[in-house]
Chains A and B, each alone.
Chain A
């Protein structure tokens, strides 16, 4: 496939891995502890596990899998609220397939569907709007989630609903934003990250400019990366070069899609439709100020939270679950006490086991057999 196969070339990967080893050998701190590079985005986590990239690298380099899987960080209380909406008889709940298995405190959406709720899997929010158009006597609620990559698609769908005068379409909005999340990571006292591989698709929307503070204030390098194995390896190499040379800059490996200023149409749709929430609760990470968005007053009629009173109860993660520690990079997935035993992709307890972009599910699927237990 064009723009995919070229970035999976085996020989080029070998070359990069040698380069990476050579650069890592010149980094002093590696004598004392592993160099830790966080891939913020779950898509990169998936690439790293799918292609076994971590095993190809010198032992002095460690990937820390960041919180950038929006399905994985949804807290149980939000799933409970979504189930409560889905179980209303007039509602068709439209959702991305990834969200179906995320455990709530009582049930997942998949279980709610088995119990009779009308839940449809859609590929695009525009498909959810089409459901509303086709079912004028029902209320279609779209389960909106994701970082800035997905935020504009929901916003543009709401704008399309407004333009068409469709009044049986609302969104249960769980969108979250990357910059406050990165700030929270950088402020975390128990975190030791030497550099970042920055999200690729989020950056198509927001551009590379908003990351400037990471280099300026926190003196950490960040390289925005594409999602093919060569992209991730090249971005890692660029991060390591910065660490070796004592630089902290924002660089862009994904120039074929990412610019410094982002996408104007998408950003203006985001600005028009959403406003920041004071705080948003994350699974495993607790509450992060200004990290979530809700609809502005002008779009209140498209807001499922305003149309349906949801319980909005905050529910603690299961006691056995260690997703929080894994999300912060303190534990590897297999070090969690229930990894692969009580918690598997078929019956996930923690959210990281749910989506293919979650560190635990990716690890379970691709890396578990490769390592001695």
Chain B
């Protein structure tokens, strides 16, 4: 029940009621975007945004830079380990 799932806003269904159409894994359904609309993000500007959808409401936009940053840290850890492995005496 508490799970959220990423989807992309593909159209605005009803601007007055803040209803958008969101595509989630190929399925389209109306989703309320009232929580993510403000002066800086008017309704029409939301098309194309990736959002996290929970029980029919978009809770927030997914920040692509932050997502990349999290993955960068993980990739770096991998590189450090590979480096350390390379320093170990080789095994036949």
Instruction: Show the binding face of A for B, using Cβ within 8 Å.
Output: 1-4, 6-7, 9, 11-12, 15-16, 18-19, 41-43, 46, 68-71, 96-99, 123-127, 145-147, 149-150, 152-153, 156, 160, 201, 204-205, 227, 230-231, 234, 253, 255-258, 263-266, 355, 357
Q: How many residues of B contact A (CB 8 A)?
A: 36
Tell yes or no: B70 within 8 A of A by CB: yes
Given the known interface contacts A15-B81, A234-B74, the answer about A6 and B67 at a Cβ–Cβ threshold of 8 Å is yes
Contacts of B36 in A (CB 8 A): 263, 265
Chain B residues with CB below 8 A from A127, complex form? 56
6 contacts between A and B (CB under 8 A): A124-B56, A150-B2, A156-B35, A156-B57, A253-B70, A265-B37
Contact A146 B66, CB 8 Å, known A11-B78, A12-B74, A15-B81: no
Where the two chains meet, the residues of B that have a C-beta atom closer than 8 Å to any C-beta of A are: 1-4, 6, 8, 17, 25, 32, 34-38, 50, 52, 54-57, 59-60, 62-64, 66-67, 69-71, 73-75, 77-78, 81
Q: Is the CB of A204 within 8 A of B81?
A: no
| CB <8 Å contact, B1 and A70 | yes
Contact A3 B6 (CB under 8 A): yes
Q: How far is the CA of A145 from the CA of B4 in the complex (A)?
A: 16
Total A-B residue pairs with C-beta atoms closer than 8 Å?
130
- Contacts A15-B74, A204-B52 hold; do A256 and B1 have CB atoms under 8 A apart? no
Given A2-B6, A18-B81, A124-B56, answer yes or no on A150-B74 (Cβ-Cβ < 8 Å). Answer: no
Residues of chain A lying within 8 A (CB to CB) of residue B78: 11-12, 15
* B56 lies within 8 A of A125 (CB): yes
Q: Are the C-beta atoms of B57 and A256 separated by less than 8 Å?
A: no
Given the interface pairs A152-B35, A255-B69, the reply to whether A43 lies near B57 with Cβ below 8 Å is: no
Docked-complex contact A255 and B70, CB < 8 angstroms? yes
Instruction: Point out the residue from B54, B63, B81 that lies within 8 Å of A256, measured CB to CB.
Output: B63
Inter-subunit contact A98/B56 (CB<8 Å): no
Known: A15-B74, A15-B78, A146-B2. A256 touches B67 (CB 8 A): yes
Q: Is the CB of B59 within 8 A of A263?
A: yes
Inside 8 A of A234's CB, which chain B residues have their CB? 70, 73-74
A258 to B52, CA, bound (A): 11
- For A46, list chain B residues within 8 Å (CB): 3
Partner of B1, one of A11, A18, A98: A98
Most buried by A among B50, B52, B55, B81: B55
In the complex the two chains form, what is the Cα distance from A266 to B37 in whole Å? 11
Choose among B2, B38, B50, B69 the residue that contacts A3 (Cβ–Cβ < 8 A): B50
